[in-house]
């Protein structure tokens, strides 16, 4: 599947609110191809010349539901300040096993490929999470812990699997109210 800004469904499409279903693992050929296409989108979306040529919006992650496939598949690519890939995740059937009481949020707010309009405000999330998933890059079940920015990115993508968008977490009456005791990630 060729993924670009035209094939990503937006928040005015009711399918974005669908709950995703587990996929059989190891992945079948169709799901494996979708995962590869999702990873390719995220990797290429931050390379300016490719992004412009292929109509890609910059991203750190994407979930299958964002291309109207309600399956529990998530691709995330985290880069360092020089643009080198630090970590990449290709996860099937992710589940948060535990999360910290301590909250964190991104000071500049969150964005989303499926949300074309800005929704300003803080999005409080757990600062640390423990995850179990099928790692499609290793072809095995894994359990791992992440904190701070990687934890926020993964929680954002996992929310998509439940039909939740980031702005659902923003306080409606005071969008920039700092969550008490939360860690701000700049």
138-147: long-range pairs with CB below 8 Å, 24+: 139/26, 141/25, 143/97, 147/100
Q: Extract long-range pairs of 23-26: CB within 8 Å, 24+ residues apart.
A: 23/71, 23/72, 23/73, 23/92, 23/93, 25/92, 25/93, 25/134, 25/141, 26/134, 26/136, 26/139
Tell me whether the omega of the peptide bond preceding residue 102 falls within 30 degrees of 0, making it cis.
no
CA pair distance 123, 185, nearest whole angstrom: 11
The catalytically annotated residue of 29, 30, 49, 157 is 157
Confirm whether 29 is a catalytic residue: no
Please give the positions annotated as active site: 157
């Amino acid at each position: 599947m060729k993924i670009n800004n035209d094939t990503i469904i937006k928040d005015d499409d009711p399918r974005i609110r669908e709950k995703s279903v587990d996929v059989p693992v190891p992945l079948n050929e169709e799901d494996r191809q979708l995962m590869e296409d999702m990873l390719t989108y995220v990797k290429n979306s931050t390379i300016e010349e490719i992004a412009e040529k292929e109509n890609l919006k910059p991203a750190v992650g994407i979930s299958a539901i964002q291309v109207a496939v309600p399956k529990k598949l998530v691709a995330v690519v985290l880069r360092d300040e020089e643009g080198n890939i630090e970590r990449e995740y290709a996860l099937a059937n992710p589940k948060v096993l535990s999360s910290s009481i301590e909250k964190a949020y991104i000071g500049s707010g969150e964005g989303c490929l499926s949300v074309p309009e800005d929704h300003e405000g803080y999005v409080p999330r757990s600062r640390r999470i423990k995850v179990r998933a099928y790692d499609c890059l290793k072809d095995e079940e894994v359990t791992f812990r992440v904190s701070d920015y990687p934890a926020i990115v993964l929680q954002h993508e996992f929310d998509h699997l439940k039909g939740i968008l980031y702005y659902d977490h923003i306080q409606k009456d005071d969008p920039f109210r700092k969550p008490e005791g939360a860690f701000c990630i700049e």
